[in-house]
Every structure is written in structure tokens, then in C-alpha cells.
Amino acid sequence: MEDDNLIELQDKIRLTKHYDLHRDFQPLYTGGQFKILKDEQHALSLRDGKICLFSIETSKVLASLSQENEDILTFAISPNQQLLAISNKNYLIRLYKVPESIENFSQLEELSTFKTINQMVLEMNFDPSSKFLAAGTADSHIKVFDVRKGFQTHNLTGHRGIITNLIFHPEIDSLRLISTAEDLTIKVWDLVMKTEIANLKFHQALITNIIFSTDMNTLAASSKDGSVSFWNVKDNYKLLSSIKVKSDENPDEIEELNAIYMFKSGSEPYILIGGQNGILKIYDIKAQKFCYSLHDNTLKSEITKIISSENSSKIYVLNADQNFNIYQITNKTKKSSSSNKPQLKSLVSKCLYLDEIIDLKLLGKKSDIEGDQSEPQYAVLCSNNETLKIINLQDGQVSQYGGHNDIILCLDVSRDLILSGSKDNQIRLWKINQENHELKCLATFSGHTENIASVCFAPKKSNFFVSASQDNTIKIWDIQEFKKTCDGEDIQEITSALLTVMGHQKYINVVKVSPNDKLIASSSQDKTIKIWGSYDLMLQQTLSGHKKGVWDIAFSPVDKLLVSASGDKTLKVWNLQNGTCISTFQGHQNSLVKISWINLGMQIVSTSVDGVVKIWNLKKQICVNTIQMHEEKIWALDSNEKFMVTGGGDSTVKIWKDCTVEKEQEEKEKELQKVQDEQRLSKLIREEDFQEAAVMAFRLNRLRDFYLVMNKVISGKSSKIDMVDSVLTDRKILNSLQSGQQNQQEKSQQIQGETLMTQILAKLLKEDKKRLLEIIRNLNSKSQYQGLAQHILYTILPRFRADDYLEEFKTNQNELKEILKITDFYSQKHLDRAERGLKKAFYPQYILSQMTLQDDLLVEQQKQSAKQQDKQNSEKKQNAAYQQKDTKQIQQLLNLKKKRKQRERGMSDNLFTEIDSKSKQSPGQNLAKRVKA
């Protein structure tokens, strides 16, 4: 019968697909400067190098001020709250004008900038008239600036070490400055004379705070040496008296002091002191004794600041854990005397920095079977300290409860009981007062020898709980007697468990009890999950399959199933009847740390160390949605039927609301509206109302329709616009204009189209500049649409004003740079393509012209060759004539030469004949004649 009811419930349940952030509580203060504004409803604080403005009542961050690439070191706000001075690591002091309205705080107007030479400013303060700003640097210098005229007036030297405190004399226009530094001295400066008028030496350790009394006649200083000194302002700052503050726990020890505040109750002077032990003490200056001390659990750590209120008797106290408490100074008459002694009444307690959230559980949550759709009101959580915190999920107010001596690691809740396990090897049982949600510790459970890793109530009857420790043991503890009565103020100490077993070979991460209280499951770093009987702690099953340690497990609220999350980035669903793995879910990119069932075991929620949450459908075995919920690890997760609360390493608690129904309804409405708009767009196109059609396509992000409409607006045709074609068309138009043959009707239509397009773009620019740039980018990235994109760019660029676009993208200017970068890249790409296309377009003409030129060249070559041949022939004839003539001349010459030789030879023959005839006469005479011849 019960199973049938569950099936009916499951059929009625709508599965979760979407979560929206409903409310979050961010860190408000991480240390450093802290200021309360005059209205006492808002405060300024330093948070991770940024200035945070938040509401004290609601803890809501109203504004955050940061400087790009500059971490803020400290800040100061003028007494009239019109000026804000900020120093950063770049050795700059920036001065801003603060707007009158808190809502406009983020819109600060920068007035001037002061530079310090290679030294960071760690301390600043304004004078009472808000005319001068004093700044103490890390090199022992004190610089004073005239903030109205914008220049440095003083450079005071004399200290050694970093300047730690700077205050002006509270009397307006007194122009006296008091400073302290690491040299353990207090110096008083006269800014009119520009000289040091007093050098006060008393303390033996760092001076932490200096203040004036309400009558401005006494200067008080506190120090790490546990003393408070009083100086007479009227008598050249002579030492009046001093007190030593000792530790309450050990009177022989000196308590280091950090903050003091002087006030009057009636006519008697008192001083409020806060120090290392986290105890607020009131000292009666006249009676010279302590008259009151406040041991507040929320101030267990070191008190760092005491801030007074100018308009009331409220005191604001901060400690090292960034706990922020507001007290009222009240007077109470003692029975033994008629005198009134001041006391502190706690008004508000807030935790401005939760630190890394380790575990979190909702209070007052109904069981999964009953169903709970109400918004959670309170949650209990543990962070990286030893206090248990109850956080109001409506306003962020945090109540803290001490008891553990080390960091709390795990929690569990059952109705009005809370379990907490700590590194002090101890478990504490707490009782919740349902009316005021205050906690009372009922008992402590000791027995483990290592850190408590996990605790879990028996969910059905809550008559026992199970604990697991890093000593690898699992223990069962009986708590039936604590359910019956919780009277008495004494805390019971339980040292023996009902059952103990050595569970795993390595550290146990988590232990859980099944919904029927019959089974106990434990997971460990040894990669296994073990199932135990709750009555005897006997091992029943060992589930193996994960490749790394198993960080979390959870029993199904309705089925005999167990889901596990591991460091191997997988979820596994196990059938507890046979110990088999029936499903493995993969999809996370990092190790899983937390899991939970929702919607009666039909879905699973898992978290990972990268802050990602995934929603899984068990039946379909798919991931329904992935949500980036935190910036760091999500260690804490709890939910009811409608809401989910997460906490993680980013020190933020976030409340998420199941918005599946709203999202689906919104999607249906969007789909219906989309269909209607598409129909209207088609109608406008048919009616040729191109202006309205272009605007509609623009709003619907219909690139194709926008392209077609704008194309018709420009050309009156539906053909594509290509850059090459448009260039060729422009060339034709130019040629036709030169020849006087441009058709006047076509020219008129083109002018009308250009005018209409200009009107459309002007309307789109006025409507959404960012969207138009995105449309241009998208069109320009597609080759078939780039012609229109370039045409639009050509039209809007003359109307482009950089300031307008910077204003449009003021939240993310990198997005504008990215859009313009992509547009420029594709424009250059299309230009290169167009140039290549133009070259290809002129190839045929070039080839034809080259062919005609070749023919002309061939004819010319033939003519030239003929002329050359004629020339050669004439030259040959001429050469032949010349050669014949030369031959005749040579022959004549040869003949002449021959004749001459013959004549010479004839003369010789005659001579020799004559000689021979005479030689007959006488041989001797003949020989003599011949020799003579």
C-alpha cells in the first residue's frame, strides 16, 4: 500500500530541470580597513582587494569598487562623507567624490591622483574639516595633501619603520597630527609650524591604537605589551597614568591589546578594551579598576577593531574571524552601591566572512516522503573554525556557538537535534530551541582517536547515531535518554559507544544510515563502499568499482539503491539487494565531492570541486542540466522539494530555487511569441513593408530573412549580393555615367533604396547598438551574407561614435573588442577573396587581348622579315657588284704587275744574252763583266 502511494506521488512530481539563484550571502570583509557610515545603516569594508558597500541590516552588497590591475591596500572617507581616498599597490592615492545617494555609490567621480615615490601607503586619515589627507608610507614618511587644491603640503620624517596609526586632533582647524610607527613612539606634529612638537615614549611593543577622549583633553594608546597609556593633551602631552591588562585565564600572562574606546557614563570616564583573548573589558578610569567584562562566544578570537558611533551609544566590534557585533552601552545599578556601572548589551551579531564552508544542513526540514516546498529559514553550518553557526537564510544574521577546541568537520540534523564532529576527536550533541533557534549543548561523545570525519542520525527514529573517524573505525552511539529529557545545565560526557568496528583500510570519508534504520553504509579512500547491519555492525556487502576514493554516498529515500560519488569523476548507482552497479554516470570534468537525491529518488544532484552542479535523471540515465553555482569547491549541499542550499570554498552560501515550471512556461510563451512574430514577419515581407520587416527580423535574430529584406531594400531584387558582382556593377555604372547612358529610373530606385536602408539602420542603431554589431559580425562571418554586412558597415561607419558603443558595452568592453576584431578579420578575408575574384573576372578579357596582340605581332613580324629579306637581297647585290668591281681592279693590278715583271724579266734576259755573246771573247773578261753586272 505504501509502495502504491509512492508510485502515485512520483507520477505527480514534476522533475527538476532548472535552478535559479534565489539569494546569496557573500563575504563582506576579509580584513583591513572598515568604516561605518553616518546613517549607521551601511558600512564600507575591504574584501579581497576591493571596497565593498553593504547594508548592515540585510547583509546585502549594494556596490563594489575595484581598480583594474590594482589591489586596494586601504581607504579613508572624509568626516563629511563627500570624499573617498584609496591607495593601491601602484604607489597611487586616488581621490573620489562620493555621490549623495547610496544607490549611486558605484558611480564615483575621480577628482585627483597623488603619487608616492616607490612606497605603498598603508595608513590614511582625513582631518576633521575634510581639507587635508594624511598618508603614512612603508618607508616611515608621512605625507599630507591638500585635497581641495590637489597638491602635497608636508613630508614629515622622523619615524623608523612602517607607519601604523594616523589621527588628527578632533578640534577643527587645530592642524595637529598624531602618528605611531614600528619604532614604538608616538609623535605629535604641528602642521602650521611643520615641526614635531612631542615625541612620546612609553610602550615596549607595537602600538596598536590611539584615540582622544570625548573632551579632547586626553590621548590614550594601547599596545601589544598589554598596557594602555594616558597622555595630557593640555600639558604638552605629559604621561598621566597607565594600566596593565592581564589574561583572565592566567593572571601571570599579559594580554596583547588591539583596540580601545573612551567614553563617559554619566560624568565618569571609562575605557573599553579589546585584545587577544576576545574579551571586552570596561575599565573605570577614576576608580582605577575593571568594572565589567563580556565573554561572548562570537568574540572568542582576537578582537581587532572597536568603532564608536557618533550619533548613539552603539559600539561596533570586529574580531579576527571577521565577526561583526553591535553592542549598546547601558547603565546598571548594583545592589551593593547606588552608583551606575556601564555594561554592554548585544544587539546584532553577524559573520562577515564565513571562511571555507565545510558542511551545511537545513533546520526544520521535513522528510523526503512528506515533501517540503517552503523556503528554508535557518541552516546550521561549520566553516574553517571551531564555532558552530546558525545562519538566518532571510537576512544573513549569524549566531555562533563555541564548545569545540578545533575545526568542526561534519554535521547532521534530526528534527531539533544537531550533531557536530571536530578535529578535537569529539562529537557534540546540541538541542535547538524552536522559538529563537538558540543552541544548547547536551552531551559530548569521546572515543575516537583521530579527527571525526562523519556523523549521521538514524533518520527514522533518531534513537542512535553513527560516527566515522580517520582512525578507520565506525561507532554506534545511543541517544534515547537525550530525546526524553534535556533538563539541567550540565553537559554529559559519554565515553563508550554501543558498537565499534574497524571499517576500512584507509580514511573513512562518510557514513550514512538507511531510511529504515536497518543498514549503515560507509565509504573510504580505499575505493570501496561497505554495507553494515545497524544492529550488530556486521559486514554484509562490499561494493567495489570506483578507481579512486569515494567521497560521498546517499541512500535512496524510496528504493533499495545507493548512489556514490568518487574522485574518478563518476557517479555509480548500486542495487543493495545483490550488490551490483546498475548505472554509471559520467560527465563531470573534475572530482565529485557531494551528492543528494531529489524528487523522491527520481533524480540525483551532484557537485564537483570546480563548482559545477549537475542534475541527473535516474530513469533515463542522462544529465538534465549543468549549472556553475560556485567559483570553487562545493563541500556543502542540502535541499528540500523546492529549494537547494550550497556552500563552498568561496565562502559563499547560496539559496537556489526550483524554477522548472516557470522556465517551461516562459519557454512556451517564447515559442508562441516566436511563431506569432514569424507569421507577422512573413506578412510584412509579402506586403513589402521592408522597414518593419527588417526591424522584426532584427529582433528575431533571423539572419536569412534580414538578409533577404535588406537585399530587396537595396536592389529591389532577391538575387544575392556578392562583393565581386557589386564591384563590377559599380564599374559598369561608372562607365555608363561617363558615357551619359545611365538610366534615370534605375538611379532613382537605387537612391530610394539607399535612403530606406539608412532609415532602417538608424532605427536599429537607436534600438540596440550591441545587437546590430552582433548581426553584422554574424553576417560578415558567412561568405553568402558578407556583401550586405559590408554595405551596412559602409552606411553606419560615418555615424559611428566610439563613446556611444563604449557606453553600450560598459559592463564588458572586451566583448566589443572581440566583436570588432572578428569583423575586421573576416572583412580582410573577404577583401582578399574579392581581389582574387576581380583578377579571375578579367582573365578572359586579358587572354583575348593577348590573342589579338599576338596576331598583330605576327603580321608585323612578317612585314619586318620581308623588309629584312629585301634589305639583305639588296645588300647581297651591292656586295656582288662591289666584289665584281674589286675583282676587275685586282685583275688589272695583277696584269700590270705581271707586265712589269715581264718587262723586268725581258731586260734581264737581254742583259744576260749580251753578256753571253761577249763571254765568247774571253772567259776572264766575261767573268769580270758578269760580276760587275
Can you tell me the distance from the alpha carbon of 402 to that of 405, in angstroms, rounded to the nearest whole number?
A: 8
Do residue 776 and residue 799 come from a single domain?
Answer: yes
User: Across 54-68, 411-425, 871-885, which has the greatest mean pLDDT?
Assistant: 411-425
pLDDT value for 527: 92
pLDDT value for 133: 94
DSSP string, 817-873: HHHHHHHHHHHHHHHHHHHHHHHHHTHHHHHHHHHHHHHHHHHHHHHHHHHHHHHHH
Do residue 298 and residue 439 come from a single domain?
Answer: no
Residue 576: band (very low, low, confident or very high) from pLDDT cuts 50, 70, 90: very high
- Nearest Cα residue to 512 out of 550, 544, 548: 550
Do residue 386 and residue 403 come from a single domain?
Answer: yes
Can you tell me the distance from the alpha carbon of 701 to that of 146, in angstroms, rounded to the nearest whole number?
A: 55
pLDDT value for 722: 43
Comparing 111-115, 247-251, 830-834, which segment has the lowest mean pLDDT?
Answer: 247-251
Do residue 669 and residue 647 come from a single domain?
Answer: no
Q: Which of 621, 651, 681 is the last residue of a domain?
A: 651
pLDDT value for 728: 46
Comparing 45-59, 176-190, 650-664, 821-835, which segment has the lowest mean pLDDT?
Answer: 821-835
Q: Is the pLDDT of residue 330 over 70?
A: yes
When divided into structural domains, the chain yields a total of: 5
pLDDT value for 932: 53
Q: pLDDT tens for residues 239-275? A: 999 999 988 777 788 889 999 999 988 888 999 999 8
Comparing 137-141, 607-611, 768-772, which segment has the lowest mean pLDDT?
Answer: 768-772
Domain assignment of residue 21, yes or no: no
Q: Across residues 486-496, what is the average pLDDT?
A: 78
pLDDT value for 910: 56
Q: pLDDT tens for residues 670-729? A: 888 888 888 888 888 788 777 788 778 777 777 777 777 777 777 654 333 444 444 444
Helix (H, G, I), strand (E, B) or coil at 702: coil
Helix (H, G, I), strand (E, B) or coil at 698: helix
Q: Across residues 825-839, what is the average pLDDT?
A: 82
Q: Is the pLDDT of residue 768 over 80?
A: no
- Which amino acid, residue 894? L
99, three cell numbers: 555621490
Alpha helix stretches (DSSP H) within 618-743 = 660-686, 690-700, 703-715, 723-739
Domain assignment of residue 837, yes or no: no
Side-chain half-sphere CA neighbours of 687 within 13 A? 11
Contacts of 529 (CB under 8 A, 6+ apart): 521, 522, 523, 542, 543, 544, 550, 553, 562, 564, 574
439-446 and 492-494 beta bridge pairing:
parallel
Do residue 696 and residue 792 come from a single domain?
Answer: no
Question: What's the domain range around 344?
Answer: 211-352
Do residue 670 and residue 634 come from a single domain?
Answer: no
899 vs 455, more confident: 455
Do residue 392 and residue 326 come from a single domain?
Answer: no
Contacts of 42 (CB under 8 A, 6+ apart): 36, 53, 54, 55, 56, 62, 102
Do residue 322 and residue 449 come from a single domain?
Answer: no
Which CATH number does the domain housing residue 551 bear?
2.130.10.10
Can you tell me the distance from the alpha carbon of 396 to that of 392, in angstroms, rounded to the nearest whole number?
A: 5
Q: Is the pLDDT of residue 508 over 60?
A: yes
Do residue 433 and residue 509 come from a single domain?
Answer: yes
135 vs 338, more confident: 135
Domain assignment of residue 624, yes or no: yes
Do residue 513 and residue 569 come from a single domain?
Answer: yes
Domain assignment of residue 659, yes or no: no
Q: Rounded to the nearest 10 degrees, how much is the dihedral formed by the CA atoms of 826, 830, 836, 839?
A: -150
Do residue 256 and residue 309 come from a single domain?
Answer: yes
User: Across 56-60, 91-95, 782-786, which has the greatest mean pLDDT?
Assistant: 91-95
Q: Is the pLDDT of residue 387 over 80?
A: yes
Domain assignment of residue 546, yes or no: yes
Residue-averaged pLDDT of the chain: 83
Q: Across residues 283-306, what is the average pLDDT?
A: 82
333 vs 426, more confident: 426
Q: pLDDT tens for residues 517-567? A: 999 999 999 999 999 999 999 999 999 999 999 999 999 998 899 999 999
Domain assignment of residue 811, yes or no: yes
Q: Is the pLDDT of residue 49 over 50?
A: yes
Cβ contact 224:234 at 8 Å: no
Comparing 142-151, 533-542, 737-746, which segment has the lowest mean pLDDT?
Answer: 737-746
* pTM, two decimal places: 0.72
Q: Is the pLDDT of residue 908 over 60?
A: no
Domain assignment of residue 19, yes or no: no
* Max CA separation in the chain (angstroms): 206
Q: Which of 183, 201, 219 is the last residue of a domain?
A: 201
Q: Is the pLDDT of residue 447 over 60?
A: yes
Domain assignment of residue 905, yes or no: no
Q: Which of 828, 853, 870 is the last residue of a domain?
A: 828
Q: Is the pLDDT of residue 126 over 90?
A: yes
Do residue 172 and residue 247 come from a single domain?
Answer: no
